[in-house]
Amino acid sequence: MSGPSVEVVAGGVAARRAFLAILWRDIFVTGKELGYFLSQVTIQPLFMLLVFGKVLNAGGYVSDEYSRLFLPGVIALTAFVTALQTVALPLVMELSYTKEIEDRLLAPLPTYLVAVEKMVIAVLRSLVAAGLMFPVGALVLGSLPWHVERLPLLLVSLVLAGWIGAALGLALATTVPPAKVNMVFAMILTPIMFTGATQYPWQSLDSIAWFKVLTAINPLTYASEAVRGAMVPHVPHIPPWLCLLVLVGAGTALSAVGVRGFLRRTIH
């Protein structure tokens, strides 16, 4: 027997090419509907900022300080929700009704990589959406908290926020029956959005212990806290290293569930 055959080597090249081509397809489609995509992902955070950061502040109900600590939470939430939305509903449709994904499932790459690609494009789209929130935030609130030396932490936090959103989307889309998906999303998404420390710092919850515990089991909390740690470090926050650790752990676990669900749905 000789060493690895030509075929095996070529197979790896084919898989890499196929992966990049599928990623390019998603980038291409995002580009085609860029206006629609951008308005879809910014409309909700824009109004949240406007009401909680500006209107309530103008009425004297919340302080300038609150506006400043709310923005990082909104940015983390935008990354998380955008990634989740990029994967979840489209994948439900592709797997059950349009079968659009079949052409990619028959491309020459291991099937799990099709699921990984879904998460990669979701993270890329979530970074664009989160990035857009900086000028939007500056415009609405009139200023932008900014720490150059903490930019790497900010970027890593946003990537991880997108990843847990994407992985959760993958897990939901492949395990929930298509007919129940709308209900499940409503049941799961709202609690996650409101117990994810996006609208309040986690350490401010000392007086409501049960809610503090509930918030601590939501991975979004660690994304919000990490982004807050990067943007407004003077506000008490969970140590960034702990946030990143939890996010990596949650991302890995959710990805494992999601990829396994994806394989179960696509190969019988």
Partner 1 sequence: MTAAVQVEELVKRYPKQDRNAVDGLSFTVKPGEIFGLLGPNGAGKSTTIGVLTTRIRLTAGDVRVAGVDVMRDPVAARRRIAVVPQQANLDRELTPRQNLTFHAAYHGVPRIRRDELVGGLLTQFGLAAQADAKLDWYSGGMAQRLMIARAMMHEPAVLFLDEPTTGLDPQARLFLWERVRELRARGVTIVLTTHDLEEASVMADRVGIVDHGRMVAMDTPAGLTRGLAGRSVLDVTMTLADGDEMTGVVVALQTVVGVDRAEPLDSTSVRLALTNEPETLIGPVVTLLAGRSATVTALRSGAPTLEDVFLHLTGDELR
List residues binding partner 1 (CB under 8 A): 7, 11, 13-15, 17-18, 21-22, 24-25, 28-29, 32-33, 98-100, 102-111, 266-268
Q: How far is the CB of 11 from partner 1 (least distance, A)?
A: 5
Quick one: tokens of 91? 């994948």
| Contact indicator for 41, 131 with CB cutoff of 8 Å | no
Q: How far is the CB of 38 from partner 1 (least distance, A)?
A: 17
- Residue 155: name the closest of 131, 119, 125, 122 by CA: 131
Residue nearer to partner 1 on the CB measure, 8 or 209? 8
Residue nearer to partner 1 on the CB measure, 79 or 101? 101
Residue nearer to partner 1 on the CB measure, 29 or 139? 29
**Cα-Cα end-to-end distance for the chain:** 34
| Contact indicator for 171, 258 with CB cutoff of 8 Å | yes
Q: How far is the CB of 85 from partner 1 (least distance, A)?
A: 16
Q: How far is the CB of 32 from partner 1 (least distance, A)?
A: 7
- Residue 52: name the closest of 41, 30, 38, 68 by CA: 68
Q: How far is the CB of 216 from partner 1 (least distance, A)?
A: 38
| Contact indicator for 229, 238 with CB cutoff of 8 Å | yes
Residue nearer to partner 1 on the CB measure, 28 or 210? 28
- Residue 177: name the closest of 97, 251, 59, 256 by CA: 97
Residue nearer to partner 1 on the CB measure, 99 or 234? 99
Q: What's the CA gap between 16 and 73, in Å, rounded?
A: 36
